[in-house]
Amino acid sequence: MRTPFTMDSAGFLALLDALERRFNEVTAAASLSFAGIDGELHPVVQPARTGEGDCAGRAESAASAESAGRTDSASSSESAQSESVESRTAPAGYTPCTGARCDSELRSPASTPLSCDFHGRTGAFHDEVFDPQLVELASSAFGSTCWASLMCVASLGLDAALAECARQFLTHTSIIVRQKGLAVWLYDLINDATMAMLLGQTSARMPVTIRPMSQVQISRWLHGSGVKRFGSQQQRAADRAEYGNQAHRLTAYCMLRWGAPAASSAQIATMLLTNPGIGMCMLREDPNVRAQGACTDTRYRRVVDYLRSLHAQADLDYARALKIGDVPWLSPDGHTAVTIAADRRYLHDAGRIVHAYRALWDRETADPAQLLMAVEETRTLPEEPLWENPVYLRDLADSLMGAALAEDLTVGFQQRDRERFDRGVRMLEHMGEQVRAMNVLMLPIMAIDECEPDWNAVAARGYKARTTQWRAFCDRCDDLATVVLAQLQGQGEGFHVRAAATLLKQSLPEYCELALPLFEQEIERLAGREQGAAEASAGVRGHEREGGAVHVDMAA
């Protein structure tokens, strides 16, 4: 069965045009600042070079110590004079523009080593370096991906070639989306990343911001020649894999942000995050994608239909369990009415999947990927019952934990690796405890609070450690978006879609703005209940005081 969808290409283009205008404004200010054209407002102050006076002293006479002392004193007074000139020429109350502020930061020798230390996560950008409006526009257009990082890094004006790369990317994107639609551009982006991985060759379209690197590495990447300019062989392989991950992440974000209807957008985005191959194929439902010569094979629909049938079986099984009371009991006082049904379902599925895996541990089971391949190619459906079906168990694990986080559980079971499997079970139990203590809606907030690193501490570490931390955090946010798409479908039309988009954007404040209104009625109900209890308690205490006074009078 088809999964029809449409995408708001006009809305995306409007945002892209605003981003391009802001990018040109910021880069123009940065280029003026770096060229020193801003003149008296922000004059270029060259740092004094250590030993420069000594060289001059040795050239003039053999008494180097005396000469060096005089030269150092002169250099110090000259530097102080330059600083006083700068402070005098700046008008009172003057606030430098963003480019000038970046310029002053980058001219400082102490900040130069960190000037190109970027995590690639828009939420972790330094406010004093990047233009806030540019960061918001870039992250709104491209989510928290390397393309948003490219816009922000290039805006600093560190390298003219880098700024030109960003402009070409914006221009190319605008042309393709305007002529052929947003789905075509996204499909082409995923196809480019897929071909790069299959051929083992770094794509020329992969942004330089695919991982944190120094300014020297960026310059080598842009101006060097040969494959070694992209890093070591291990780095190139990891970057190609990350390029594919980010292409699917960007497509999932755009599908949630500009796709319609909500049900189709959520299903395609979920597939892109958990089963990227099928998710890419689902983009072919767009007629413009097929018109560009995309493969016309539609056998992937068999896989999609089979997974839908498994979900329907699971819903019926849960309805029977709910009818006989075989589900976890949750107190209405401890859980809000808006999420208690989702909380019960999450805890029920979390307990059943662990029990199912342990029951199958000593039995031979098929590989879920091979079973799905058989479904796609020959329509051979697995004959196992629902809770013995490896395909359903894998799909359920992804919906409870996310694809990356569920690997310990699913791969540990598939390889019969007890240690890894137990690690996955502990993580699932920990998430279940968080749901039991709070609710599913609060799970992403608690999980991000636990796993988000201290970005300032990460910036002080080596580039390899920074890359590992950044990519791990991005994977965790993808996992939480997957959980939200699967578990919060009953919270209003399109709520789970908007909430998952904020998580792919890695904007926790936006997620909170969506989640908190759902609790307003519940908070008012609880507040009224507490107020009534307090009034009743106050009435009882007043009655006791009155009774005590009567007793005293009678005793007197």
Closest to 393 (Cα-Cα) out of 363, 367, 432:
367
The residue that leads in pLDDT, 490 or 168, is 168
Average pLDDT over residues 11-39: 79
Dihedral in degrees, nearest 10, Cα atoms 31, 36, 40, 41: 30
pLDDT band at 333 (very low <50, low <70, confident <90, very high): low
pLDDT higher than threshold 60 for residue 89:
no
- Long-range contacts: 513-521, Cβ < 8 Å, 24+? 515/441, 515/442, 515/445, 518/336, 518/338, 518/339, 518/441, 518/491, 519/336, 519/338, 521/338
Looking at residue 321, its pLDDT comes to: 93
Give the percent of the chain with pLDDT over 70.
75
Cβ contacts of 290-293, under 8 Å, gap ≥ 24: 292/180, 292/184, 292/187, 292/188
HEC per residue, 461-525:
CCHHHHHHHHHHHHHHHHHHHHHHHHHCCCCCCCHHHHHHHHHHCCCHHHHHHHHHHHHHHHHHH
CA dihedral 263, 266, 271, 277 (to 10 degrees): 80
Task: Supply the pLDDT for residue 554.
Answer: 33
Distance from C-alpha of 383 to C-alpha of 54, rounded to nearest angstrom: 85
Rounded average pLDDT over 400-411:
96
Alpha helices in 276-339 (DSSP H): 276-282, 287-291, 300-323
Q: If pLDDT is split at 50, 70 and 90, which confidence band does 303 have? A: very high
What confidence tens digit (pLDDT) does each residue in 365-396 have? 999 999 999 999 999 999 999 999 999 999 99
pLDDT of the residue at 493: 75
User: DSSP character for 157?
Assistant: -
Q: Which pLDDT belongs to residue 76?
A: 43
C-alpha distances out from residue 57 to 50, 303, 544, Å: 13, 80, 95
| Cα–Cα separations (whole angstroms), residue 160 to 30, 34, 167, 223 | 11, 11, 11, 11
pLDDT at 128: 60
For residue 11, pLDDT over 90 is answered with yes
Under the banding of pLDDT at 50, 70 and 90, the label for residue 12 is very high
CB of 155 closer than 8 Å to CB of 26: yes
Cα–Cα–Cα angle for 375, 376, 382, nearest 5°?
Answer: 5
pLDDT of residue 32: 59
* pLDDT tens profile 233-273: 999 999 999 999 999 999 999 999 999 999 999 999 999 99
Q: Which of 103-107, 151-155, 212-216 has the lowest mean pLDDT?
A: 103-107
Say which residue, 162 or 493, is predicted with more confidence. Answer: 162
Percent of the chain scoring above 90 in pLDDT? 60
Rg (CA), the chain: 30
Return phi, psi of residue 4, to 5°: -70, 145
Q: How far apart are CA 210 and CA 233, in angstroms?
A: 15
* 473-485 per-position pLDDT tens digit: 999 999 999 999 9
Give SS3 for 528: helix
The size of the chain, in residues, is: 556
Average pLDDT, the chain: 81
Decide if pLDDT at 300 tops 50. Answer: yes
Among 51-55, 144-148, 179-183, the range scoring the smallest mean pLDDT is: 51-55
